[in-house]
Amino acid sequence: MFKGIFAVLSRLCILPVFVVGTFLAGCAGNTTYPEVSQAPDYEYIVGAGDSVEIFVWGNPELSTTVVVRPDGKITTRLVEDIPASGRSSTQLAREIETAYSRYVKSPVVSVIVNRFVGVPTQQVRVVGEALQPLSVPYNKHMSLLDLMIAVGGLSEFAAGNKSVLVRNFNGQQEMYTLRLDDLLKDGDISVNTPMMPGDIVIIPEAWF
């Protein structure tokens, strides 16, 4: 398991990994605890798997709920293959209005996202020794504690205080240590930290 985690990290950093020390030295970034002074500007972007509710004002028979397909498109009651993934709900509403304008005079459309999956760059991933390793849609003001609750906490074999956060800053990956044992087992809220879209938390297996 530990070797598998190193393999993931080495691909992220695009460098060979032989031992922990070599890995830490080879990746861009530092091992200090991450700090974020405020939540980043954030607009939810629709992704494959999202459930979107479409309201067409004055035309209730055209209103519907659809799921974004794996190819990033949706099919509505009037138009097939409308691109949805990679757009905000407002942008998608304008796309649907443009598509519907061939059939409806001056359509007014609203889009509400009901089930969130999101695009990969706006997900937060947890791999390794979590109870349920998952990709979780980012929420504004999401903290490390929120994320660990979402994945069910640590497995019994986790080395929580040796966990690693991989974060992208302006196209460059930075790496930080996380103290998950202190947070989850000792209740040390001081080591809680804000998460950011695209973060990856890697939890290694303890050596016995």
The predicted pLDDT at position 90 comes to 96
Kindly state the tokens that stand for 33.
């605890």
CATH topology identical between 28-33+120-203 and 51-115: no
Asked: is 28-33+120-203 a CATH 3.10.560.10 domain? The reply is yes
The predicted pLDDT at position 118 comes to 87
Instruction: Note the pTM of the prediction, 2 decimals.
Output: 0.74
Q: What is the CATH number of domain 51-115?
A: 3.30.1950.10
Kindly state the tokens that stand for 109.
């459309």
**How far are the Cα atoms of 42, 129, 156 from residue 53, in angstroms, in the given order?**
21, 36, 41
How far is Cα 57 from Cα 178, in angstroms, rounded to an integer?
49
Domain ranges in the chain are 28-33+120-203, 51-115
Q: What is the pLDDT along the chain (208 residues), one digit of tens a residue?
A: 444 444 444 444 433 333 333 343 344 345 455 655 555 678 899 999 999 999 999 999 999 999 999 999 999 999 999 999 999 999 999 999 999 999 999 999 999 999 899 898 899 999 999 999 999 999 988 999 999 999 999 999 999 999 999 998 878 888 999 999 999 999 999 999 999 999 999 999 987 6
Closest to 73 (Cα-Cα) out of 62, 63, 84 = 84
Q: Are strands 109-115 and 82-83 parallel, antiparallel or unpaired?
A: unpaired
Closest to 184 (Cα-Cα) out of 198, 203, 170, 171 = 203
